[in-house]
A = this chain, B = another copy of it.
Amino acid sequence: MVKKAKKEEPVILITNDDGITAPGIRNLVEAVKGLGKIVVVAPDKPQSGMGHAITIGHPLRMTPVHFFEGIEAWQTNGTPVDCVKLAVDKVLHGKPTICLSGVNHGANHSINVIYSGTMSAAMEASIESIPSIGFSLLDYSIDADFTASRFYIHQIVSTFLKQKMDKHLLLNVNIPAVDKKLIKGVKLCRQAYAKYEEDFDERSDPHGKKYFWLTGEFVNFDKGKDTDVWALKNNYISVVPVQFDLTNYKLKQQLSKNKLFV
């Protein structure tokens, strides 16, 4: 399986949710070349919007592929989260130094962190005590320009690889879809309170039966200047530290006087 990394050479696990053939993952590999031993384990097809889904109802397959010159790579029929689990257990037989997910084609800021397969893969790594970063470019196009992304991803990953990283380090990085020279820098942010106002597109099939397409308009309810949405609108790269402890301690405190509880 994996050849032993050179002494002290970091092992960089790369996955994504747009599938192993997406330009985004190729650009992520390019961005971190030279920073360590890269291993790719990614889905064999697009998995956008899969959230933290795992595959329990059918078996998983994993096949070696030769998409990336000189780099060990595997495709699986699983979700992004499955890929991380398979990589650790069946490819690396241990933990990588860092797990990188993306580059996603499209934004994963604000509430999107919850729906995002890109971020779920990164979160899965973090749960397993592997420092982890998810990257997304605010451009859905297959022909998106990753020039600025490559430059800043290299900078961010090399900076963290030189530091002692928290074992649960988990960062959600979004990159504005603008020319590199317009980017003002990398900004540490909190998740904006924003959401999609759903509006299902209702249609009839040729047999007269109704069906619905999920669509929606993104609405930002958060006026803060410390949010990821604000940063991106102002041409900063946003970095939101993310956690997997979902306990709402403030609400817990408020509810503690409730007679319902012993």
Interface residues in chain A, defined as those with a beta carbon under 8 Å from any beta carbon in chain B: 46, 48-57, 59-62, 81-82, 85-86, 88-90, 111, 113-115, 120, 123, 127-128, 155-156, 159, 163, 166, 168-170, 184-188, 190-191, 193, 195, 198-200, 202-203, 209-214, 236, 239-249, 251-252, 254-256, 258-262
Complex Cα spacing A39 to B132, Å: 41
| Chain B residues closer than 8 Å to A248, beta-carbon distance | 170, 241-243
Q: Are B111 and A127 in contact (CB-based, < 8 A)?
A: yes
Q: Which of B184, B212, B251 contacts A62 (CB 8 A)?
A: B212
Chain B, Cβ-Cβ closest to A128:
B195
| Chain B residues closer than 8 Å to A56, beta-carbon distance | 48-49, 214
Tell me the number of copies of this protein. Answer: 2
Q: Are B60 and A211 in contact (CB-based, < 8 A)?
A: yes
| Chain B residues closer than 8 Å to A258, beta-carbon distance | 159, 163, 188
CB distance from A205 to the nearest CB of B (A): 8
A251-B245 CB under 8 A given contacts A88-B198, A111-B127, A199-B89: no
Q: Are A191 and B247 in contact (CB-based, < 8 A)?
A: yes
Complex Cα spacing A123 to B52, Å: 13
CB distance from A71 to the nearest CB of B (A): 22
The 4 closest A-B pairs by CB, nearest first: A51-B52, A185-B262, A243-B248, A51-B51
| Chain B residues closer than 8 Å to A170, beta-carbon distance | 248, 251
16 A–B contact pairs at CB < 8 A? A56-B214, A60-B213, A62-B210, A88-B198, A89-B199, A90-B212, A114-B123, A114-B244, A114-B246, A159-B260, A186-B261, A186-B262, A187-B262, A190-B245, A242-B246, A243-B251
Complex Cα spacing A184 to B262, Å: 8
CB distance from A43 to the nearest CB of B (A): 13
A49-B59 CB under 8 A given contacts A200-B89, A246-B243: no
Q: Which of B51, B88, B190, B200 contacts A252 (CB 8 A)?
A: B190
CB distance from A233 to the nearest CB of B (A): 15
Complex Cα spacing A143 to B245, Å: 32
CB distance from A220 to the nearest CB of B (A): 13
Q: Are B198 and A89 in contact (CB-based, < 8 A)?
A: yes
Q: Are B246 and A113 in contact (CB-based, < 8 A)?
A: yes
Complex Cα spacing A123 to B114, Å: 10
CB distance from A16 to the nearest CB of B (A): 16
A239-B214 CB under 8 A given contacts A49-B55, A245-B191: no
| Chain B residues closer than 8 Å to A163, beta-carbon distance | 258
